[in-house]
Chains A and B, each alone.
Chain A
């Protein structure tokens, strides 16, 4: 049993631990622990020193000799190094805190738990965290690393004329973002594209949700027969891969040769320029997206509708509520409460719905004096600008902006939906 020792200073233990893991523990006379920590830190440094050295050097310089240094590899190695260092720093801080706690105990003369005891203690308390950790590490490399890479590219000059291995990349700071709002070829089109992107997102998604909800309510009505059959039919559009559907529709909407003008509208003596007039192309796109998107919403609502208790409607019937009142006060809040997060994802998905725009008409038809096509949304416009011109830096910069818009919107909405509040706080 150690005695109280007022001359033992926690600050010294912390300083020593900061210098090298385990030294503080040695000062605390916890020799086994201290030596263990020293071995771990030494092993870490020996294993990773070279990797981290090159990684950090590469992150700062992005390489010095063309053809020998590859900026992209160096950038990724640098980001990995940063992640490893953050991990190591967290462990190092834990080591310092441990040294301080032990030093205080020694100061007060409290007994120490044995190494074995403290291990068991940590296992008991930290059990969930220990099992979450491997997943977290995976997540870090699968999700966070590519994101960091993309964000980093937005601040480099990575384009066709600065492509490794022949050329090295350079950090250019915010120049890409400055160019975006100052170079006419990008600036002039940005706002018209953004406006259509918003209209497209709101109108197409709302229509698909409204149609899905309407059909789900109809099919859920007890008086409807052959429910299974009807449901199967309504889910069918979902069963065909979207890109096949879109390509088939693109052929059907052709102004002159498509089935819609030729077989359907010709009955009324009308011919609509679906592919050549921007307005009608937009209408066609919204119609197709409604058709593609409603089955999912329909399936979702059908499921949720089953879970609404019959008692509520019976109670409402006794109170003499009308059909509309029952819908307004029972069905709608219930359904929206349960599905809001998924519906928000639908909006976010359509904001970036590259497939349909690209496959239907490739953002066309062309509009004179405008760089983007008449129906290009932000993401398809970026695709065009970057993959025809190989401006990876600009792609990263614009993607960053799109990402900020979408995530800002999503976070705001998530925080306001009840689904994400704790239960009982409704």
Chain B
């Protein structure tokens, strides 16, 4: 027994001694800055680019990448990694030297990505003016531009011309349609939306003055949450009235709404452009889109805008060429090509206002709504907001007092942010 003990002590001692050793290395910064720029001006043989794993998008990008190779002689290695898995994979592959030069992310992940040190800021220079201002705001974090915006999306109004000849211009129009066309017993609805999903409900809060986090000069103040202020409460009361009047059933989900709309039972639905394909298949030319109707205070509802963006890996060895590549992919011509093949709205301002898009009756409504929208906050604290707000909307749908419910939700959000280790 005593032998075993002394052996154990020996082992502990050994671990202690080795633990104190550690690797020998220079205390200097590993990369000298002057050297770096000199190296980077050299043209690399190839750039590795992670793209979203989607057939149409890959198809569109393949053509664009080909053109870049023709122009510069740099080969582009396209690796398909689902957008949602990219950051996890990059956190492991990057340090191991297997990561990409450029990857693709929705802008609301930027806060997380910067916190983990996975991306470097991009200097867009004069090119900054080429992108829609909303998109540039979306990719700005802590005053720096992270990434080059590629695609913008938001939601808007879809309407069925069989049931309503014209899109509702104001909230009153919409309520009138809801009142006339709704017959819940027969599954007929004048107006449907996922009104218990905070993503879709936010514009009605924001149009009256609600906000998620106070934004000043491109910086979010996460201690100032505006989701229980007077404006938010007013928006919540509006949403609650839809449930109270029986316009929207409180059991509504996206699947149910899509099913009813494609059956032709719904006059107006608020949802995003990702439904265009399936809606069009069902309704044909009877389908049209429009921006969200104006609120009774004259404001446009401020829908959440999402921006999919190319980002520069912090582990890239060819940063300047990677940025050059990103600018090339998002220029007007290539953005339009991407729109035609993949069907997504470009973040490039000239492309967004190009006739091809403004004349497309199914995209025009969303393209217009973009300018009234505001980017989803890109701070990491945003991830604490969705669930409490979703729950609050469920209580509101049930008929609970909006002011009390929103107050509780904001308290929960604050608790969650504190519990997540922020500020420690």
Q: Which residues of A contact B (CB under 8 A)?
A: 18, 52-54, 56-57, 59-61, 64, 66-68, 70, 73, 85, 89, 93, 157, 159-167, 179, 183-186, 251, 254-257, 275-276, 364-366, 368-369, 371, 373, 384, 388-391
Contacts and interface: CB of A to CB of B under 8 A. Distances in A.
Given A61-B19, A160-B380, A366-B390, 13 more contacts: A53-B23, A56-B15, A57-B21, A59-B19, A61-B22, A68-B30, A89-B11, A157-B421, A164-B116, A165-B94, A254-B251, A388-B386, A390-B380
B87 to A, nearest CB: 10
B10 interface: yes
A185 B394 contact: no
B395 A368 contact: yes
A368 B393 CA distance: 11
B419 interface: yes
A251 B30 contact: no
A85 B18 CA distance: 12
Contact of B419 (A66, A364, A389): A389
18 contacts: A52-B18, A54-B22, A56-B19, A73-B95, A157-B424, A160-B380, A160-B420, A161-B423, A161-B424, A163-B91, A164-B91, A165-B91, A166-B117, A183-B419, A255-B251, A256-B251, A388-B386, A391-B419
Given A52-B18, A390-B383, A166 B412 contact: no
Interface of B: 7, 10-11, 14-15, 18-23, 30, 91, 94-95, 112, 115-118, 249-251, 253, 255-256, 314, 380, 383-384, 386-387, 390-391, 394-395, 398, 400, 405, 408, 412, 415-416, 418-424
A73 B423 CA distance: 25
Contacts of A165: 91, 94-95, 116-118
Given A60-B19, A165-B117, A276 B421 contact: no
B115 A161 contact: yes
B311 to A, nearest CB: 15
Contact of A371 (B11, B115, B398, B412): B412
Identify the 7 closest CB pairs spanning chains A and B, nearest first.
A166-B117, A366-B391, A57-B22, A60-B19, A389-B420, A256-B251, A185-B415
A227 B384 CA distance: 55
B251 A257 contact: yes
A89 B117 CA distance: 40
B421 A162 contact: yes
Contacts of A373: 391
A390 B395 CA distance: 26
Contacts of A61: 19, 22
A161 B15 CA distance: 30
A61 B22 CA distance: 9
Contact of A276 (B91, B386, B398, B412): B398
A161 B114 CA distance: 10
Contacts of A251: 255
A164 B117 CA distance: 8
A85 B15 contact: yes
B246 to A, nearest CB: 11
Contacts of B415: 184-185
A254 B256 contact: yes
B278 to A, nearest CB: 17
B394 A366 contact: yes
Given A70-B95, A185-B415, A186-B419, A53 B11 contact: no
A166 B91 CA distance: 10
A412 to B, nearest CB: 30
Nearest to B21: A53
A193 to B, nearest CB: 15
Contacts of B10: 18
A185 B22 CA distance: 40
Given A61-B22, A73-B95, A371-B412, A89 B15 contact: no
A384 B420 CA distance: 12
A383 to B, nearest CB: 12
A61 to B, nearest CB: 7
Nearest to A158: B421
A274 B7 CA distance: 63
A275 B22 CA distance: 57
Contacts of B20: 57
Nearest to A257: B256
A366 B95 CA distance: 41
> Which one of A66, A163, A368, A371 has the greatest number of beta carbons of chain B within 10 Å?
A368
Given A85-B11, A368-B408, A391-B420, A166 B251 contact: no
A89 B7 contact: yes
Contacts of B398: 276
Contacts of B418: 185
B28 to A, nearest CB: 11
B251 A163 contact: no
Given A256-B249, A371-B412, A391 B91 contact: no
Contacts of B394: 276, 364-366
A273 B58 CA distance: 44
Contact of B250 (A184, A276, A368): A276
A389 B398 CA distance: 27
Nearest to B114: A166
Nearest to A58: B22
A179 B418 CA distance: 12
Nearest to A255: B251
Contacts of A66: 117
Given A68-B30, A165-B95, A53 B421 contact: no
A404 B121 CA distance: 45
Contacts of A160: 112, 115, 380, 420-422
